[in-house]
């Protein structure tokens, strides 16, 4: 007999960051420090503010010093580019500073923030 789990709120899922833009045009990532759980995982970034998208050229989420832990660029997912993924080997413990960037729909300067991915032991 299988038990179905209730769908979890987006904010409570592991390896997931909720990205918003506040009234002062500051990009906010929740959590600010993302604890990465598991090996060879896809980190997911979900943009929740209307009027913004992730760039679809691999620059939505860029790790400053990726080494071998982040071997591929991030991907903004079609059709609406409001979700981005980033592959993480998560084979070495450490904190990895990254930049999350969003673009206003219709033009304007990109907005970004520099939080942390925390790889486990």
Alpha-carbon distance 84 to 45, whole Å?
Answer: 5
Q: How confident is the model at residue 6 (pLDDT cuts 50, 70, 90)?
A: very low
Alpha-carbon distance 73 to 88, whole Å?
Answer: 10
User: So where are the chain's domains?
Assistant: 14-20+27-113
Q: What is the pLDDT of residue 13?
A: 86
With contact defined as beta carbons under 8 Å apart, do 11 and 29 qualify? no
Confirm or reject CATH 3.30.70.20 for domain 14-20+27-113, answering yes or no.
no
Alpha-carbon distance 117 to 45, whole Å?
Answer: 12
Mean pLDDT computed over 10-30 = 90
Hey, what's the torsion of the CAs at 60, 63, 10, 5, to 10 degrees? Answer: 120
Q: What is the pLDDT of residues 44-86, one digit of tens each?
A: 999 999 999 999 999 999 999 999 999 999 999 999 999 999 9
Q: What is the pLDDT of residue 50?
A: 97
């Amino acid at each position: 007999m299988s038990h179905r789990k209730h769908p979890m709120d987006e904010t409570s899922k592991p390896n997931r960051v909720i990205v918003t833009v506040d009234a002062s045009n500051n990009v906010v990532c929740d959590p600010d420090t993302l604890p990465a759980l598991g090996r060879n995982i896809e980190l997911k970034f979900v943009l929740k503010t209307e009027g913004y998208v992730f760039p679809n050229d691999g620059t939505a989420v860029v790790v400053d010093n990726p080494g071998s832990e982040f071997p591929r660029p991030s991907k903004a997912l079609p059709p609406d580019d409001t979700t981005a993924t980033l592959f993480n080997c998560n084979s070495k413990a450490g904190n990895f500073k990254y930049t999350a960037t969003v673009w206003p729909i219709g033009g304007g300067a990109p907005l970004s923030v520099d939080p942390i991915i925390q790889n486990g032991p």
